[in-house]
Each structure stands twice: as C-alpha cells, then as structure tokens.
Amino acid sequence: MDGAREEQDAARPQLPRVVHSYLEHVRVEKRLAQRTCELYALDLTKLCSFAAAAGQELLSLQPAHLRRFIAQMHSQGRSPRGIALIVSGWRSFFRWAAQQSLVAFNPVEGVRGPKAPKPLPKALGVDDAVQLADFANPDASPWIEARDAAMTELLYSCGLRVGELVGLDVRPGKDFERLRRGWVDMEAGDAHVLGKGGKRRLVPVGAAAIVALQRWLALREIGLPEPTQCIAQQEPALFIGRRGERLTAQSVWSRLRQRARQAGLSANVHPHVLRHSFASHMLQSSGDLRAVQELLGHASIATTQVYTRLDFQHLAQVYESAHPRAKRKDAS
C-alpha cells in the first residue's frame, strides 16, 4: 500500500510539501474516502497551477487572487456547481493551514463562486396531470388500484408533501396523537395536515379526491388475509400496505412512478412533481400567490415565488404559439 501511495505521489505534479502534508492529514487523521482525497489533490493541483501562473506562492495567496482564479474557471466554461466544489476543497486546505499557523487567515473564507441558476421545479402540464389522475389500472387488484388512485388524487388535489401524505390517519386521534398526525375530514372536505416544523394547516380536498378516498376506505380492510386484516383495523394510517401497516414514503414514490409509466406519461413523476403541478396550475388559474403559499404551507412567500417563473414560462409558450407577430419571419 505504501509503495502504491508513493507512486501516486510521484505521478502528481510537483506539489509543495505542505500540500502533501495536508493530503496525508485528510487521509490518515480525517479518514476521508480515497475518492475524496483524490479530488482534494486535483483541486490543489489546479490551485498550485493558478498560483504559479500568477507568480505567487501558494501560502501567500490573497482573496483577490482567488476571485481572479474563479473568474478564469468561469470564463473557461466550468459550471458554477463544479467551481463551488473546487473552491470548497481550497477552503478546507486553507482552514487546515490556518490551524497549523502556516497562514494568518483563511483567504478563501468569504470567497464565493458564481451563483448557479436555480432550476425550475418540474411540473406536469394540466392535460398530463388529469390523464394521470383519471388513469385506472386494469391489471391491478381493486384494493391496490383504489389505494393508488386515492393517493394520486390527494397529492394533486392538495399539493401535499409525501411525508404529509403518509402521515395522514383515517380519523383524528386522541389529544397527543392528534399533535403528531394529520387526517382527512371527509364530511367537511378538508385535510388537516401536519407539515414541516410541526406546523399544521387546513387544505381543501377536491371532489374527485373525496370520491377516490371513499372508494379506498370502503376497501381498505376488505380482502386482506388474517391476521393482516386485524392489523389494518388497529392501524390508524389512512394509507396502508399489504401487511396492514402504514405505507412508507419510498413505497409511495415507487407506486406513483409505476402508475405514471402505465398511464403513458414519459416524465419521471414522483410525489413532489404533483405538488409542483398543484402549485403551478393553481397559480395559472387564480394568480393568487398568497393563497398558493398558504395551501403549500410555505413559511416564506419567496419560496412560493418560484412558481411565478413557471407561470410566466407557460404564458410565454402560449404567446409564442398564438400571437401572429410572436415568431420572426425567416431571413430568406
């Protein structure tokens, strides 16, 4: 092992002794994975090259030098995420160097790479969302089909997070249990949801979701073999698996992905896609950002504002396809 490591060190460009000491530190003392150590070595090799080109010693680099190096990488086409990972490696090295009193301060502290554009949340079009909600799987058992249809309808109808969905009970529990779970009030058509940070909110449940829930509740304890049926009768969870126990978030992901494929959707559909679809379609129809914030349970309206970008994207597509002056004529 030592011989192989010496060969690796020899194969690297001539790095300062301090860099080798640091790499030995992260390998032996911090016990980082081999791949992580290799990436740190690549990051520091790049930094040493930048420093040499600028006529600077590695340990004499200042924040201005590092910002210039970052700008160079950005101009060469490296992605913001890739730059952020490299800068993180530099920051770790100089933090260690400061602890060893090799530098007076960490010059990378406070230096940031270019901001990566925030990707838009993925949402289904209205037609695709309705197609998924209306889909009935002829190959599934009535029990599985009723449960999966109710989950799909509830996710899209209420914009629930998957954790909120699996946390729902059939009915409100006792005082202590009620604080830990949510439930659906079928008569009022409301879902009492326990969201992030233990915050509760009330969300209307659409008529189609109520019908799907009624169908599921009628079958929930029927058709399960003993003793599973007894377990299901005692289990308060609204959605249960074949063993009569509360369904997991992973199971919901798997069932929804399979259902979307069977429904003929090409998109990778998961529970959060339906949450995004709910928010986007509500905003397109109502334009009421504040109401959508409340329905989603966002603490800050800034979080909800990302859906205005989705809404504008939709409007731009409508404009492009409908307005007679939207498309430029061919130069010919």
Q: Which residues are catalytic?
A: 161, 196, 272, 275, 298, 307
SS3 167: coil
* Number of residues that this document lists for the chain: 332
- The count of other CB atoms within 10 Å of the CB of residue 4 is 8
Tell which residue, 220, 186, 225, has the closest CA to residue 205: 186
Q: Other C-beta atoms within 10 Å of 79: how many?
A: 13
Instruction: State the number of CA atoms in the 13 A half-sphere of 247 facing the CB.
Output: 26
The three-class DSSP label of residue 190 is: strand
Find tokens 């406070």 and name the residue: 110
Quickly count helices (H) and strands (E) in the chain: 16, 4
Residue 197 zone, left/alpha/beta (φ > 0; ψ -120 to 50; rest)? left
Strands (E), 166-243: 168-169, 182-185, 190-194, 200-204
**Of 189, 185, 180, 129, nearest to 155 (Cα)?**
129
Asked if residue 234 lies in contact with residue 220, where contact means CB atoms within 8 angstroms, the answer is no
